[in-house]
């Protein structure tokens, strides 16, 4: 058994900067990685999906350019698209490994688990440390569909290995992964069917968001099956699949993608041996400082039940570094922001009016249909809206939902205003550049003005 300064389990977007920072400070750090370097983001999430969508949205925009008087015939080289996706993914993974090794982190390429003494073992080695970090991410949660184990299916883990575009793709789910990959496949040539357990996509967002995205998806030819569940899955010849549905119908396809939620990768750690508790969903139970029920053992990102976004996990590493240095950081001390990279995009920061109401906060709302704005009319972007949430008592901006062209970029303006405690009255008189989408943010604040 070897004693080191820190142990990191997993090479995700929180664990890597934590390990390299300590190593560069002269600490002896050991990092365990059982699969690919870079974690979910680089290998199965952000990196491959956005490289994939770069091609898909280019094809989609070209196909839709007729309204501008530009008529395009789009030909998709699907194998080349996927080759590029994998090349970028692999390059980023290699870069992550090189970064770890260059910083002097000792790497053990093996599955890690805890012992009864709180040590971490794997690959025939055992270590102890005053600080241990669990950054093991999550995997696709599989729905309990009879026959599924005998039926070929994809998750976001292996969809990037596709070599040809499926003629018809069946997708179970209506969240971020289902919508992004579904719209991408549709724009690259597949007939896509989305099976929704409920009545709308992105059910965690406001009905306004769902309505805009559903219209966009249907314009792309995607078929939405509402309140639909698969009662049985069956394999067909040629790796095709069939789903028996709860409405008595059978839907056949060339590929099946499961996007029905995530589960934390904590089972193989055997944390119970070390007195580390998990919650009912398998996340490491942590306090406000990301420390588990065993002192000195911490968890980042999805493993800790944090919001499942790369930037949250990355911020977790800064939180822990600050905590270890005696500074007052907490697991939720930043405004939550995120985006959905469909087209139109969804950019979110802070609270929606519905979330504010659930917290008992009285709000004023500013709303604007972007289809009526100069930029949208000029560029042919009719779908979308801007919405601002303002605390009625303090006038502080506490949330924003932007749906439209590249709103994942634009929402940062409002995210920064929320973080700094800015008010709607401070935003309203500002001058923004014309003609842009950003020029309407002061007008949005004006729309949220207190009635006189």
Catalytic residue set:
434
The closest alpha carbon to 160, from 274, 67, 253, 36, belongs to 36
Q: Is 174 labelled a binding residue? A: yes
Residue 180, marked binder:
yes
Q: Is 176 annotated as a binding residue?
A: yes
Distance CA 130, CA 284 (A): 18
- Residue 240 CA: distances (Å) to CA of 103, 151, 166, 181: 47, 9, 10, 19
Residue 38 annotated as lining a ligand binding site:
no
Taken in order 401, 309, 204, 178, is the CA torsion positive or negative? positive
What φ, ψ does residue 146 adopt, rounded to 5°?
Answer: -55, 135
Alpha helices, DSSP H, located in 188-325: 207-219, 310-324
Q: CA 415, CA 411: separation in Å to the nearest integer? A: 6
Q: What 8-state DSSP symbol labels residue 370?
A: G
Q: Flag whether 365 is marked binding.
A: no
Distance CA 163, CA 182 (A): 16
> Cα separation of 167 and 253, whole Å?
8
Tell whether 305 is in a known binding site.
no
Does 382 show up as a binding residue in the annotation?
no
Residue-wise DSSP of 347-404:
EEEE--HHHHHHTT--EEEEEEEGGGSHHHHHHT----EEEEEEETTT-BEEEEEEEE
238 is in an annotated binding site: no
137 is in an annotated binding site: yes
Contacts of 162 (CB under 8 A, 6+ apart): 78, 82, 154, 255
Q: Which residues pair with 209 in a beta bridge?
A: none
Residue 27 annotated as lining a ligand binding site: no
Q: What is the per-residue DSSP string for 392-417?
A: TTT-BEEEEEEEETTHHHHHHHHHHH
282 is in an annotated binding site: no
For residue 251, the SS3 value is strand
Binding-site residues for NAD(+) sit at 173-180, 261
Residue positions forming the annotated binding site: 50, 136-138, 173-180, 261
Binding region for FAD: 50, 136-138
């Amino acid at each position: 058994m070897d004693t080191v300064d820190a142990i990191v389990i997993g090479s995700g977007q929180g664990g890597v900067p934590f390990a390299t920072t300590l190593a560069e400070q002269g600490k002896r750090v050991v990092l365990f990685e059982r699969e690919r370097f870079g974690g979910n983001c680089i290998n199965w999430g952000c990196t491959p999906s956005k490289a994939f969508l770069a091609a898909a949205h280019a094809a989609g925009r070209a196909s839709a350019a007729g309204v501008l008087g530009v008529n395009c015939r789009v030909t998709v080289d699907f194998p080349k698209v996927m080759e590029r996706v994998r090349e970028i993914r692999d390059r980023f993974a290699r870069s992550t490994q090189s970064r770890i090794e260059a910083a002097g982190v000792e790497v053990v390429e093996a599955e890690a688990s805890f012992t009864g003494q709180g040590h971490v073992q794997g690959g025939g080695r055992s270590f102890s440390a005053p600080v241990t970090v669990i950054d093991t991410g999550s995997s696709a949660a599989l729905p309990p569909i009879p026959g599924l184990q005998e039926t070929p299916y994809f998750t976001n883990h292996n969809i990037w290995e596709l070599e040809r575009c499926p003629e018809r793709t069946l997708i179970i789910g209506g969240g971020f992964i289902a919508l992004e990959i579904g719209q991408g496949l549709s724009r690259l040539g597949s007939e896509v069917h989305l099976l929704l357990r409920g009545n709308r996509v992105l059910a965690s967002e406001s009905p306004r968001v769902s309505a805009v995205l559903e219209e966009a998806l249907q314009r792309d030819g995607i078929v939405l099956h509402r309140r639909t569940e698969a009662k049985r899955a069956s394999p067909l010849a040629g790796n095709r699949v069939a789903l028996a549905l709860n409405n008595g119908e059978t839907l056949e396809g060339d590929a099946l993608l499961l996007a029905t939620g995530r589960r934390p990768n904590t089972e193989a750690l055997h944390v119970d041996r070390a007195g580390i508790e998990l919650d009912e969903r398998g996340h490491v139970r942590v306090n406000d400082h990301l420390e588990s029920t065993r002192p000195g053992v911490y968890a980042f990102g999805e493993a800790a039940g944090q919001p499942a976004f790369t930037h949250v996990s990355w911020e977790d590493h800064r939180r822990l570094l600050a905590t270890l240095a005696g500074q007052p950081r907490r697991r939720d001390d930043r405004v939550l922001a995120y985006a959905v990279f469909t087209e139109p995009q969804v950019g979110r920061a802070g609270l929606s009016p519905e979330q504010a109401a659930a917290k008992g906060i009285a709000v004023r709302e500013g709303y604007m249909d972007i289809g009526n704005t100069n930029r949208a009319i000029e560029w042919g972007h009719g779908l979308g809206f801007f919405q601002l949430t303002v605390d009625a008592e303090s006038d502080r901006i506490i949330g924003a939902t932007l749906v439209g062209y590249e709103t994942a970029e634009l929402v940062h303006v409002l995210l920064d205003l929320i973080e700094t405690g800015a008010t709607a009255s401070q935003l309203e008189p500002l001058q923004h550049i014309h003609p842009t989408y950003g020029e309407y943010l002061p007008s949005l604040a004006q729309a949220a003005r207190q009635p006189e």
